[in-house]
Amino acid sequence: MAQLLKLIPKETMPGTLARDVAVKYGRERRYLIRMLQEIQSTYGYLPQEALRVVANELRIPLTEVLTVATFYHQFRLERPGEFIIMLCMGTACHLRGNAANYEFLRTYLGIRSGKSTTDDGIFSVEKARCFGCCSLAPVVMVVSRDGSYRRLYGDVTPAKLRRIVAEHRAKLAK
């Protein structure tokens, strides 16, 4: 393990980055959200080690940092999958079946309770706010982890979700 840690540049390690971010913001609690945003922009989520270091640097309980991180929907506590499948839960999409699609997709992909990502790290499933295309309801958006790929699907059904999953598994196989 120590050998592997030597291969990772020090500035990319969660604890080091968190410490640097805390110093950048003067270790002031009022900048906690900005600190978390900066850490997440680097990793795509908030690593546990980074949260512990932020709490320590700000001299506040870890529970306070976790309260902020779990209150705001923008923050992730789990590394996202290669593809993030976001199901719109706006009024039109909800009424046209996306709540059921969400449960179907979690079951179909075998995502365990309390998790949002498949064990193989390929897919994350998340509820999202309105995408603004209610005439296509129910709507799903698939985004790559790095944000370079984004595709919107309308009139989504469980059968269409199976095809969407297969399509994106095939993208990774190429």
Contacts of 1 (CB under 8 A, 6+ apart): none
Q: Are residues 88 and 167 in the same domain?
A: yes
Residue 20 falls inside a structural domain = yes
Q: Are residues 118 and 49 in the same domain?
A: no
Residue 78 falls inside a structural domain = no
User: For 115-163, what is each residue's pLDDT tens digit?
Assistant: 999 999 999 999 998 999 999 999 999 999 888 999 999 999 999 999 9
Q: Are residues 90 and 167 in the same domain?
A: yes
pLDDT for the residue 12: 60
Domain final residue, candidates 71, 92, 120: 71
pTM for this entry? 0.80
CA–CA distance from 4 to each of 7, 24, 79, 92, 161 (Å)? 5, 28, 20, 49, 39
Residue 28 pLDDT > 80, yes or no?
Answer: yes
What would the two tokens of residue 140 be? 């799903």
User: For 105-119, what is each residue's pLDDT tens digit?
Assistant: 999 999 999 899 999
pLDDT for the residue 15: 77
> Pairing mode, if any, of strands 83-88 and 140-144?
antiparallel
Residue 1 pLDDT > 70, yes or no?
Answer: no
Residue 101 to residue 158: CA distance in whole angstroms: 6
Range of the domain at 166: 83-173
Per the prediction, the chain carries an average pLDDT of 90
CA-CA-CA-CA dihedral for 114, 119, 122, 123, to nearest 10: -20
User: For 42-90, what is each residue's pLDDT tens digit?
Assistant: 888 999 999 999 999 999 999 999 999 999 988 999 999 999 999 999 9
* 97 contacts 160 by C-beta, under 8 angstroms: no
Q: Are residues 143 and 65 in the same domain?
A: no
